[in-house]
Amino acid sequence: KTGESVGVGGAVLNGDTMTVTNSYFHENKAGNYGGAIANALTTSGSAEDTSNTLTINSSVFDNNIATNGGGAIYNAGSTDVNVTNRLFVNGSVFKNNKADGASSIGGAIYNSVPTSPGGNVSVATINGATFTGNVAATAGGAIANSGKMKIYNSNFDANGTDGNITTNVGGAIRNYHSGITSNRDATLLVSNSTFTDNVAKSFGGAVYNASVAGEDHKSVATVENSVMIGNTTTSGTAVSGGAIYGG
């Protein structure tokens, strides 16, 4: 599948329930978020809780680009407190995806917060995925999370640089509570996963976890039963966190 959008979702914009299986997304582009797919129901018009769900099974995302974030997939925070955008990724491959704008985040996936206070954060679960060669200019070479995310049994290899761009923080993953627009903690669980040869320019060659100073809500990351090999930062400072940075 190849497509282009000046807004969100270069190939697909989902606002309901969608399952994608055994599919290939190549060289899709978005001028804003979600180079291949945007999962982005912003309001339901209902007082009842609504889940907008995107499920990805056994698919490949290759060389997709978004200017601002989520080179392959954007899972949006909702401005409606009754709406939760949910993303499930199973057994899929993300390679050489890019968020290339000056302040871009999440080279492959951006799991975001609302754009205004009082909304709801996005929720993502990733199992058995492979992330290779993804890059974002600012943060999260493979993944940027500001919502709720769980990652199981996944591999992150050589994310954070493509020879032209080097991700500033979080060569593989950035977990960051982004201030007043979110009334929830940014939570990240990584379990039984492997990180090899990921690179960041300043902090967190593999994983970067940080909060906005003075905010009530925080960034909370747990990494368990996982392997870190050869992850680096290029800053050369003693506190840069070659594998993991928490600050």
pLDDT of the residue at 110: 96
Instruction: Return the closest-CA partner of residue 51 out of 61, 60, 62, 41.
Output: 41
C-alpha dihedral over 205, 75, 99, 117, to 10 degrees?
-90
pLDDT of the residue at 52: 84
Angle value at C-alpha 97, between 227 and 114, nearest 5 degrees? 90
First CA to last CA across the chain, in angstroms? 40
pTM of the complete model? 0.93
pLDDT of the residue at 125: 98
pLDDT of the residue at 106: 97
What sign results for the dihedral spanned by CA atoms 42, 37, 190, 50? positive
Phi, psi of 181 (to 5 degrees): -75, -10
Partner residues linked to 18 by β-bridges: 54
Rg for the chain (alpha carbons), in Å?
A: 16
pLDDT in tens, 60-83: 999 999 999 999 999 987 776 777
Partner residues linked to 218 by β-bridges: none
Length of the chain: 247
pLDDT beneath 50: ranges in the chain: 47
Paired tokens of 157: 């290899």
pLDDT of the residue at 47: 47
Instruction: Return the closest-CA partner of residue 106 out of 134, 73, 150, 144.
Output: 144
Cα separation of 5 and 197, whole Å? 32
Cα separation of 135 and 223, whole Å? 21
